[in-house]
Amino acid sequence: MKTDPSLEDKLKKLFSSQKLGVLATQQKKNPYTSLVAFACSDDMRQIVFTTRKATRKFANIISNSNVSFFVDNRSNRAIDFRKAIGVTVLGSVRQIRKNKNNKLMKLYLGKHPQLDSFLASQSSAFLCIDIKSFYIVERFQNVTEVHLE
């Protein structure tokens, strides 16, 4: 990612410190959101997560692989208006074949070891968002756009 090093550091800190994010998919003509456990690659180009294949979000992804993903560090206190950061990621999702030697799978399980059996289940899919853009909001209204090449 080519951006201001301090901004990249903020993003890496945010994505490593937060365990859950909000995935937005498209259900026919309506948005649909889901809370998911995730991990972000070191180069900030991929976000991985797992879900059951029998979920609405998985059906939505199969129908339209373009998604939005949101992560923030809010504390629900007044200080959030000055200190919180929220990041919207735009990208497309692809399914990854499960393999314990896969670098992204190791990354995911390193962050969420308690989800090992969930990920290993035949009824679950391991998914990757290939990131196209970041929209970073700080101090409540300062927005920075970063588009990956």
Q: Which residue has the tokens 């399914």?
A: 95
Flag whether pLDDT at 77 surpasses 90: no
Angstrom CA distances, 125 to 97, 99, 121, stand at 8, 12, 8
Flag whether pLDDT at 100 surpasses 90: no
* Highest mean pLDDT of the ranges 3-7, 76-80, 84-88, 108-112: 108-112
- pLDDT score for 109: 97
Phi, then psi, of 106 in degrees rounded to 5:
-65, -40
Q: Minimum mean pLDDT among 111-115, 134-138, 139-143: which range?
A: 139-143
Q: What is the pTM of this model?
A: 0.92
Domains by residue range for the chain, with CATH? 5-147 (2.30.110.10)
**Contacts of residue 84, Cβ cutoff 8 Å, sequence gap at least 6:** 72, 73, 74, 75, 138, 140
- Residues 41-74: tens digit of each pLDDT: 999 999 999 999 999 999 999 999 999 999 999 8
Which among 147, 139, 48, 125 has a CA at the least distance from the CA of 86?
A: 139
Q: Average pLDDT of the chain?
A: 92
- pLDDT score for 79: 73
